[in-house]
Amino acid sequence: MPSPRHNGDGLRRELIELTFTVQDIANTRFAISPLWEVVASVRVIKEPAGVNRPWAEQVRGRLEGVDWRLLSDLVPMPTISLVCFIAPPPTTSLPDLELELSGMLSRAADVRAELDAWGGARTPGLRALYDDPSAGLERLAAQIRAYWAVAIEPYWPRIRTLMEGDLLYRARMLAEGGVHRMLADLDANVSWQGERLRLAHRFCDGVRPLDGRGLLLVPSVFAWPRIFSITVPPFQPTLRYPPRGIATLWERERKDPPEALAAVLGATRARLLAELDQPASTKDLALRAGLSEPGANQHLTALRKAGLCSAHRTGRYVLYARTAIAESLLNPT
């Protein structure tokens, strides 16, 4: 049996067909994976393109002081496949990064077999990981935490909001038309034929029975424009796909805050929250809002204490980002 891998599809050259039973339909579920977003985003940093280019252009310079060499070694370009231990499928629907890192650290026994099956040249970092998997995974976890703090965490409320919106849409489609309708417009590379879900794939083909384990569906901003799948035990079969609305994720649009929110927070603080559609420094926000830097800092400190924004140090300066609570206040449903 081959070592399990994350396999990415692309051009329509091959097809993987997943066969469903009644038990598989019952066990199909959704999850969001912060750790997978870290891994998938490395590809975007290495080759910025398409809808995620604005994000990459913002964070590449900030990563200059971060050691993420081992993480980079494990995400080669072109990305034909990825070892599974770097981002095992989440076991819960909404895990945080630390919970997923715990799962990664528990897979030290799999490292050598997966690296052997993966093949390719071994960098010094990969050789050290192979020689001492436990210590190597600890180094990898530390690099992922540092990368996350600079490249993903300031943007996470916005990313998570988009992915949760996709999950709500899928849940509605499931309620209205069952699994077939829920998956019908998942991605251009995914289609139904009879009782089989077909995944267009660049390198692999064949029929994969789900064997009662169901399908785990994970929306992924940084997977765009591809889908990634895991279809080999011991993991639950997993499909990672770009969520709906990703084309507008990084567009910056001036948006007036709700009048009710301005009445509670004050016009200035509500305006600052509205300007935080993307993480920004005190200086940037002061210029946008027509404030002095000390004045903007005073308002941002109050918003941070109220749990409406968070501060993330990136080298010489601090970036502010909206929290999930602030997102819901600015975008009430």
Helices within the chain (DSSP H only): 22-27, 34-46, 53-59, 69-73, 97-105, 111-118, 124-131, 133-147, 156-184, 259-265, 267-275, 282-289, 293-305, 324-330
Q: What is the DSSP letter of 94?
A: S
Highest mean pLDDT among 161-165, 191-195, 301-305: 301-305
Q: Give the model confidence (pLDDT) of 219-268 as tens digits.
A: 999 999 888 888 877 888 898 999 988 988 887 665 678 888 888 899 99
Q: Give the model confidence (pLDDT) of 16-48 as tens digits.
A: 888 888 888 888 889 999 999 999 999 999 999
Q: Give the model confidence (pLDDT) of 271-320 as tens digits.
A: 899 888 777 788 878 877 888 889 999 999 999 999 999 887 755 667 78
Amino acid symbol at 288: R
The CB density around residue 98, as the number of other CB atoms within 10 Å, is 11
CB 233 within 8 A of CB 5: no
| pTM for this prediction | 0.76
Q: Provide the mean pLDDT of the chain.
A: 85
* Domain architecture of the chain: domains with CATH: 15-247 (no CATH), 259-330 (1.10.10.10)
Closest CA to 116 of 79, 141, 85: 85
Task: Give the count of alpha carbons within 13 A of 207, CB side only.
Answer: 7
Distance between CA atoms of residues 132 and 186, nearest Å? 40
